Every structure is written in structure tokens, then in C-alpha cells.
């Protein structure tokens, strides 16, 4: 590409250019335990198209696959003061560049040599106190001064606190900060003495307005919410919900106090990774024009692979989830016997609490050929279920954003969801009078309301197939990419740093 062409492409992008440092505890494909890993990977890539220069700062865990470790380049190292007694720690910087994004990994065997990114609070609190301060020190060391520091969840929540308390007067001290809440349930709470020791933050910060939690504890997420220039969470509805006692996890009053700087921006998915037209893990690829036919082919392949009765006219309902209370599995548990009517099959994929693992295994044994419980996580099987299912269950008690309903829609699988968080923001209820909407919903957390939503979906599937097929196409045409969200984040960056 010529210099003139490159310059023209750059000029066509939003102006001015913005530099953003992403700081978080996980990122696909290096290490991922949940949705945070997907966001840390996909959003920086989408921001490049919005004329943002993005650097991602991560811990260098030993569990990162060797194929990535061996391509990292050493960028320098230094010692950093950390603890209240003056103890210092080594900070190494290993860099990896991929798809226009620079990934800087903080290297320290004492904190990151464990097999998993998260172990227990006894180990994780010191680890992420160190990580939050080291991330700022690394930016200064590399002389890379971002306009925006974008932090994620409690593991990076102390970054705005350290910035204001210890990095004013340094290059990174002038950056604006954003703290994104991916799941408010996890906050980094531990006793005052331990967090005082591992941060050496001034005593004045250990009061009710910043760190203090129930007198004897400190809350790292709460402190970050206090000091961040802006707070975001992963859907507009969740931003409203967390200001209420039911969803607020003890921080509802704190969030109401800071509501002027709280915004909700819904997540997207990587539509290159999740694309039924090119997905190599499917029995048959498809787009909007041949989805109805090819989804039947995928259904037959899944039924054969899982030992279900092979009949493409049966309705297959999929569920891919962590098997926990948050995901509404107690509701699903309660209705499965009512779903199995000779025309319906249920496919479950996931691991979690033993009570649900055991109950779903029991349903498989009771309803051989109609229920398959895959108590595991398998990427290939996940892709097959998304493509082969007719409907997809996400009946969560709470769901900050949710990605599975977005993937399901991308694959023309109609979501059945509870109206909470991002589920409410992304799934429009089907309106039989206007033939609009892209899924089926219910509001209160009751098993019989979930059953009613499923039965409404089954009624349309079996008696109004033409309208059902139209909804399949609407779902596939819905924009579930990161593009719209990246535009909103750029606008937020510009609001903070014009």
C-alpha cells in the first residue's frame, strides 16, 4: 500500500487519534476464564478501526501457552517499591505484537508462577496490588503516555487509586481513567491490614468514601470506582440494576453516589471467530439465504454425534453455561421434565456446581435420546450446538451483558432469556401481532415464567414455522459485532480527553 493510500485511510478515520492503555487480568488467546478475556481481546482490535493506538497490559502467567511465550520480546526491567515496609519487587516487561495491538506482559515469578490466573484471595490480593502499581510503572518506564487508562474489574481497580496517590507529577499521572465493571459480584475484599501492607497507600484512603468496607475490610473495586474518571459496565440495563440493593452487591449506594460518571455500553462478539459461513467446526456452513436448510444438516450431525434421536423436525434447545445459580440453572432444572414431550430435545454443555452437574446427568439417563448433558467444555461441541439448536436458553438471575445469546443470534438460534442486564438490552421480545422481535423473554425469576416463554417459542416453531424462519434471519442480520460499541467507547474517550 502506498504512503498516499495509507495517509488517506488514516484521514478517513475519526480524528484526533487517541492512545489507550488496557489493563486487565486476562485476555484471549493468552489466558481466558470468562467474558473479560473476550473483551480484552476483541475491543482493542475494534478500537484500532476507530483510530486508537492501543496497548494491553497483562500479567505474564506461567499458564500462557508456550507458542506465545517464545515470541515475547524483552523490553526492560526495574525494581519497584511496593509494600509498607519498603520491600521492592522485580518488574520485567515482555512484549508481543499481534494484529496491530501491542501486548506488554508484566513478568514476576513470585506472583505469576501459579498454574491458574486466579487461585484464592490470600494469594490474589497481593498479586493484583502488585500488578496494578506495576502497570503504571511500566507505562512510565516505556515512556508511553496514554490519553486514557482503561481498567477492568477488581484485579485492576487499584490503578486509578495508585495513579492519583503515587503517580501525580509523573508522565502517566495526567491520563484519564475508566474502570469497567464486568461482574459486580467480585470486588477484591480483604482485611485492612493486608491491603495497607501490600499497597502502602496513605491512611486517609482507608475511609468509608474510598476503601473501607464494614470497618475492618478494604474493597479494591470500591476504591477504583471512587477514583476513576469514568465508570462503565457492559450494558445499559445492568448500569441501572447495580444501583439497586438486589443487584448492587453491597455497593448500590456507592454507585448511586457516583452515578453521574456511570455509563452502560453493551459488549459485542468477534464476528470473525463466530461466523456460520466460515466456521470450520460445523457440519455445514450457512448464511441468511440457506440457514433454514443448513441448520437442519447441522442438527442431524449433532444428534448423531451425541446419541440423540435423529430427527431434524424435532426442536433442539441448547444451553451452554457455567452451571451455577447465577445462570438460572435452578429454573432449568425445574422445567426439563415438562419440556420432554417427544418433539423436543435439550442439549447442555458446561461445568459448575455438583448439584447441577449431577441433576443434568440424571436427566440424560432418564430421557435417553432426548437429553444430552455434556459436563465439560469443548470448543468444537460449543460451535456445533450454536449452529444445530433451534432455540437457546439464557434464563439468568443476573447477567451483566451475556455473550452466549449474541453468539446464538449470529448462528440463527433464537434466544429465550430473562429480562435482565444485557439480555434485556439485546433481545427484543417476539410480537406475534406485528411479527417483530428476535427472541422470547420473561421478567420475574420464576420457573413457570421460563416454561411459559419456552412454550411460546415451541408454539411458534411447530405451528408458525414461516414466521420462525423469518426470526432466524432477523437474528442473523442483527449487528452483534464490536463496531458499534467501539464507536461508543471512542466517544467516551473523547469526552474525557477532548
Q: Are residues 274 and 410 in contact, defined by beta-carbon separation less than 8 angstroms? A: yes
Mean pLDDT computed over 145-162? 98
**How confident is the model over 215-259, as pLDDT tens digits?**
899 999 999 999 999 999 999 999 999 999 999 999 999 999 999
Is the model's pLDDT at 7 over the cut of 80? no
| pLDDT confidence band for 3 (50 / 70 / 90) | very low
User: Pairing relation of β-strands 101-107 and 88-98?
Assistant: antiparallel
Distance CA 82, CA 439 (A): 51
Percent of residues, the chain, with pLDDT higher than 90: 90
Distance CA 327, CA 304 (A): 28
Q: Quick check: do 13-268+483-496 and 291-477 share a fold?
A: yes
Mean pLDDT computed over 306-334? 95
CA distances from 123 to 37, 59, 79, 194, 196 (A): 21, 14, 21, 11, 15
Which CATH architecture group holds 13-268+483-496?
3-Layer(aba) Sandwich (3.40)
Distance CA 286, CA 253 (A): 48
| pLDDT confidence band for 11 (50 / 70 / 90) | low
Question: Which residues on neighbouring strands pair with residue 296, listed in sequence order?
Answer: none
Mean pLDDT computed over 460-489? 96
Residue, of 120 and 444, whose pLDDT is higher = 444
User: At a CB cut-off of 8 Å and minimum separation 6, what does 466 contact?
Assistant: none
Is the model's pLDDT at 5 over the cut of 80? no
| pLDDT confidence band for 498 (50 / 70 / 90) | confident
Please report the pLDDT score of residue 293 as a whole number: 94
Four-residue CA torsion sign, 35, 36, 39, 40: negative
Q: Are residues 321 and 416 in contact, defined by beta-carbon separation less than 8 angstroms? A: no
- How would you class 152 by CB atoms within 10 Å of its CB: exposed for 0-12, middle for 13-18, buried for 19 or more? buried
| pLDDT confidence band for 8 (50 / 70 / 90) | very low
Please report the pLDDT score of residue 115 as a whole number: 74
Q: Are residues 404 and 385 in contact, defined by beta-carbon separation less than 8 angstroms? A: no
Q: Where are the domains of the chain?
A: 13-268+483-496, 291-477
User: Phi and psi for 218 in degrees, rounded to 5?
Assistant: -115, 145
Q: Are residues 153 and 181 in contact, defined by beta-carbon separation less than 8 angstroms? A: yes
Please report the pLDDT score of residue 309 as a whole number: 96
Is the model's pLDDT at 412 over the cut of 80? yes
| pLDDT confidence band for 6 (50 / 70 / 90) | very low
Which CATH architecture group holds 291-477?
3-Layer(aba) Sandwich (3.40)
| pLDDT confidence band for 33 (50 / 70 / 90) | confident
User: Pairing relation of β-strands 52-59 and 18-23?
Assistant: parallel
Lowest-pLDDT range of 6-20, 153-167, 237-251, 400-414: 6-20
Supply the mean pLDDT for the chain: 94
**How confident is the model over 394-410, as pLDDT tens digits?**
999 999 999 999 999 99
Amino acid at each position: 500500500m502506498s504512503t498516499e493510500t495509507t495517509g488517506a485511510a488514516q484521514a478517513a478515520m475519526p480524528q484526533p487519534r487517541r492512545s489507550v492503555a488496557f489493563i486487565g487480568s486476562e485476555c484471549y488467546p493468552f489466558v481466558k476464564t470468562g467474558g473479560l478475556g473476550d473483551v480484552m481481546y476483541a475491543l482493542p482490535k475494534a478500537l484500532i478501526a476507530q483510530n486508537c493506538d492501543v496497548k494491553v497490559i497483562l500479567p505474564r502467567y506461567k499458564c500462557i501457552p508456550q507458542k506465545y511465550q517464545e515470541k515475547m520480546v524483552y523490553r526492560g526491567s526495574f525494581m519497584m517499591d511496593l509494600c509498607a515496609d519498603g520491600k521492592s519487587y522485580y518488574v520485567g516487561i515482555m512484549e508481543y505484537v499481534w494484529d496491530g495491538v501491542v501486548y506488554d506482559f508484566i513478568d514476576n515469578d513470585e506472583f505469576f508462577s501459579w498454574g491458574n490466573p486466579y487461585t484464592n484471595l490470600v494469594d490474589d490480593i497481593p498479586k493484583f496490588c502488585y500488578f496494578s502499581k506495576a502497570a503504571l510503572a511500566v507505562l512510565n518506564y516505556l515512556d508511553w503516555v496514554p490519553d486514557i487508562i482503561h481498567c477492568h474489574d477488581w484485579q485492576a481497580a487499584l490503578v486509578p487509586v495508585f495513579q492519583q496517590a503515587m503517580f501525580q507529577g509523573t508522565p502517566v499521572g495526567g491520563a484519564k481513567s475508566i474502570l469497567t465493571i464486568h461482574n459486580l459480584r467480585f470486588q477484591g475484599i480483604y482485611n485492612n491490614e493486608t491491603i495497607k501492607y501490600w499497597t502502602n497507600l496513605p491512611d486517609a484512603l482507608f475511609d468509608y468514601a474510598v476503601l473501607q468496607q464494614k470497618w475492618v475490610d478494604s474493597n479494591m473495586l470500591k476504591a477504583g470506582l471512587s477514583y476513576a474518571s469514568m465508570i462503565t459496565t457492559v450494558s445499559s440495563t445492568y448500569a441501572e440494576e447495580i444501583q439497586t440493593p438486589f443487584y448492587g452487591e453491597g455497593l448500590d449506594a456507592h454507585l448511586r453516589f457516583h452515578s453521574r460518571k456511570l455509563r452502560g455500553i453493551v459488549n459485542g462478539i468477534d464476528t470473525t471467530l463466530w461466523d456460520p459461513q466460515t466456521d470450520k467446526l460445523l457440519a455445514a456452513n450457512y448464511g441468511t439465504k440457506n440457514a433454514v436448510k443448513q441448520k437442519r444438516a447441522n442438527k442431524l450431525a449433532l444428534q448423531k454425534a451425541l446419541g440423540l434421536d435423529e430427527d431434524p423436525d424435532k426442536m433442539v434447545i441448547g444451553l451452554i453455561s457455567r452451571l451455577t445459580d447465577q445462570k438460572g440453572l435452578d429454573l432449568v432444572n425445574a422445567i426439563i421434565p415438562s419440556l420432554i414431550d417427544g418433539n423436543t430435545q435439550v442439549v447442555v454443555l458446561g461445568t459448575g456446581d455438583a448439584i447441577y452437574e449431577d441433576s443434568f446427568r440424571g436427566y440424560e439417563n432418564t430421557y435417553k435420546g432426548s437429553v444430552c448433558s455434556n459436563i465439560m467444555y469443548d470448543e468444537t461441541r460449543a460451535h456445533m450446538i450454536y449452529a444445530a439448536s433451534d432455540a437457546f436458553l439464557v434464563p439468568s438471575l443476573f447477567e451483566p451483558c451475556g455473550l452466549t445469546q449474541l453468539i446464538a443470534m449470529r448462528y440463527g438460534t433464537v434466544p429465550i432469556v430473562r429480562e435482565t442486564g444485557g439480555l434485556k438490552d439485546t433481545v427484543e421480545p417476539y410480537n406475534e401481532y406485528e411479527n417483530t422481535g428476535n427472541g422470547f423473554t420473561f421478567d420475574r425469576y420464576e420457573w413457570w415464567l421460563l416454561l411459559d416463554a419456552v412454550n411460546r417459542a415451541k408454539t411458534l416453531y411447530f405451528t408458525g414455522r414461516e414466521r420462525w424462519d423469518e426470526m432466524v434471519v432477523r437474528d442473523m442480520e442483527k449487528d452483534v459485532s464490536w463496531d458499534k460499541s467501539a464507536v461508543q467507547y471512542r466517544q467516551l474517550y473523547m469526552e474525557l480527553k477532548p
